[in-house]
């Protein structure tokens, strides 16, 4: 039996520690208990970069294929929750279209035009909530374009996403999932089935004969937040647009949209000094691994000149590395460029809180910004 005496920091960790200002707690755990038993999670939390890689690379020992896997409880079997040959079957139709070169060739023009259109639509106002008015609609448009999704209304899809995310977070926190998550997935599935029924050569869903899972990353909102939080960062990027990609990687490292990923031990194993038993939940803290001082110098700093920021694990690693990583980067870059080019004096609204929060998926509650609008003559 795991005792509080063996893992005192883990025993003292609360859900609030993990949902709100989690980084000081993760730093303590990483330094003293890099694999720690957390009663609030009912499992082990891995916070060190090398150990996180070990878990995510070894799907034979640390699997997602378990009936307790939170995402599968909400959306059913998908490439996120199966292993081996079945995982390859789910993933294969999407592998080639989402490679970096193919994403660039196929989607750059559309994504840049859509980002410019959305930003141009808000420009006369001088203020906006970027998550709902730019980042969210852009993500929906890109998903709809890439998958050929029929009838993808932005507000509807974003509400489905929020409900699914909420249900997954409830399960991770040891609560009963809000039934709204399952209902939202049913509506999403209906849209996917309509797409498949309609046919069409351009639809990846048709080619895949009905994939059942979409993930809308919060990458854009977090990237904008990190740039605007310090005026000096924004000035550097405005002076040198080549730093946009560095800003994206640093924002992914400092605040990954998905803070954790779950695995389940298939055998007894010792890792990081902890004796994990077969069947135990093993939670990999991507947020913790991304600030490991053994990998990243000044890990809590936002460094646009960091030479190893691509070692961040925001998109996970191993066989379950996020397929949409290249598209998310492209989308974020297009959005940042459009915002910086078209909204002079862009800044955070001081009246609106922006600190990211969330147990599983971390994002600011809102991202309200202001900018300068020239006086009408």
* Each residue's pLDDT tens digit, 8-18: 999 999 999 99
CA distances from 13 to 43, 109, 187, 283 (A): 12, 46, 37, 14
At 376 the pLDDT is: 67
For residue 222 the two structure tokens come to 């977090």
Query: pLDDT (tens digit, 9 = 90+) per residue, 349-368?
Result: 999 888 888 888 888 888 99
Alpha-carbon span 240 to 263, nearest angstrom: 41
Query: pLDDT (tens digit, 9 = 90+) per residue, 152-207?
Result: 677 777 787 788 778 888 888 888 888 888 888 788 777 767 766 665 554 554 44
Cα–Cα nearest to 282, from 84, 14, 41, 27: 41
Query: pLDDT (tens digit, 9 = 90+) per residue, 67-110?
Result: 888 877 877 777 777 788 888 887 777 777 778 898 899 889 99
Q: What is the dihedral of CA 198, 203, 207, 209, to 10 degrees?
A: -50
At 200 the pLDDT is: 55
DSSP string, 111-156: HHHHHHHHHHHHGGGSEEEHIIIIIHHHHHHHHHHHHT-TT--HHH
Which H or E element spans position 208?
A: helix 204-208
Cβ-in-10-Å burial (0-12, 13-18, 19+) of 360 comes to buried
pLDDT of 52 above 60: yes
At 124 the pLDDT is: 95
Could you say which DSSP state residue 102 is in?
H
Taking the domains of the chain in order of start, what are their residue ranges? 8-370
**CB under 8 Å to 63, separation ≥6 — which residues?**
83, 263, 264, 266
Antiparallel, parallel or unpaired: β 43-46 and 35-38: antiparallel
pLDDT band at 212 (very low <50, low <70, confident <90, very high): very low
For residue 49 the two structure tokens come to 């970069």
DSSP string, 302-334: --TT-S-GGG--TT--GGG--TTHHHHHHHHHH
Q: Mean pLDDT score of the chain, rounded to an integer?
A: 86
Alpha-carbon span 185 to 76, nearest angstrom: 9
Query: pLDDT (tens digit, 9 = 90+) per residue, 232-258?
Result: 888 888 888 889 999 999 999 999 989
pLDDT band at 295 (very low <50, low <70, confident <90, very high): very high
Where are any strands of DSSP class E within 180-316? 260-265, 269-271, 274-276, 281-285
At 149 the pLDDT is: 66
At 211 the pLDDT is: 35
At 216 the pLDDT is: 42
pLDDT of 3 above 80: no
At 204 the pLDDT is: 55
At 244 the pLDDT is: 93
pLDDT band at 215 (very low <50, low <70, confident <90, very high): very low
Cβ-in-10-Å burial (0-12, 13-18, 19+) of 97 comes to middle
Cβ-in-10-Å burial (0-12, 13-18, 19+) of 243 comes to middle
CB count, 10 Å around CB of 277? 11
Alpha-carbon span 297 to 282, nearest angstrom: 27
- For the domain spanning 8-370, the CATH number is 1.10.630.10
**Cβ(312)–Cβ(255) under 8 Å?**
no
């Amino acid at each position: 039996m795991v005792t509080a005496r063996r893992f005192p920091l883990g025993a003292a960790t609360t859900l609030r520690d993990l949902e709100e200002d989690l980084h000081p707690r993760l730093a303590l755990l990483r330094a003293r208990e890099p694999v720690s038993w957390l009663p609030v999670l009912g499992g082990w939390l891995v916070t060190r970069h090398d150990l996180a890689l070990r878990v995510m690379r070894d799907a034979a020992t640390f699997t997602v294929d378990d009936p307790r896997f939170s995402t599968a409880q909400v959306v059913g079997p998908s490439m996120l929750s199966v292993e081996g040959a079945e995982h390859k079957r789910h993933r294969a139709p999407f592998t080639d279209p989402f490679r970096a070169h193919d994403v660039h060739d196929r989607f750059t023009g559309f994504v840049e035009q859509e980002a410019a259109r959305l930003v141009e639509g808000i420009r006369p106002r001088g203020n906006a909530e970027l998550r709902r008015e730019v980042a969210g609609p852009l993500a929906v448009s890109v998903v709809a374009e890439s998958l050929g999704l029929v009838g993808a209304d932005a507000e509807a899809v974003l509400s489905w996403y929020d409900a699914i995310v909420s249900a997954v977070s409830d399960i991770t926190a040891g609560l009963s999932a809000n039934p709204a998550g399952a209902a939202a997935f049913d509506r999403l599935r209906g849209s996917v089935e309509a797409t498949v029924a309609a046919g069409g050569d351009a639809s990846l869903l048709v080619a895949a004969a009905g994939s059942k899972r979409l993930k809308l990353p919060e990458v854009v909102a977090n990237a904008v937040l990190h740039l605007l939080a310090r005026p000096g960062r924004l000035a550097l990027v405005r002076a040198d647009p080549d730093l946009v990609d560095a800003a994206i990687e640093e924002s992914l490292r400092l605040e990954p949209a998905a803070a954790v990923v779950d695995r389940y031990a298939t055998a007894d194993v010792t890792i990081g000094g902890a004796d994990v038993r077969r069947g135990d939940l093993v939670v990999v803290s991507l947020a913790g691994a991304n600030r490991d001082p053994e990998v990243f110098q000044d890990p809590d700093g936002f460094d646009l000149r960091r030479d190893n920021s691509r070692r961040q694990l925001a998109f996970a690693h191993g066989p379950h590395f996020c397929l949409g990583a290249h598209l998310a980067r492209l989308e974020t870059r297009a959005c940042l460029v459009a915002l910086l080019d078209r909204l002079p004096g862009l800044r955070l609204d001081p009246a609106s809180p922006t600190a990211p929060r969330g147990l599983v998926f971390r994002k600011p509650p809102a991202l309200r910004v202001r900018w300068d609008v020239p006086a009408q003559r």
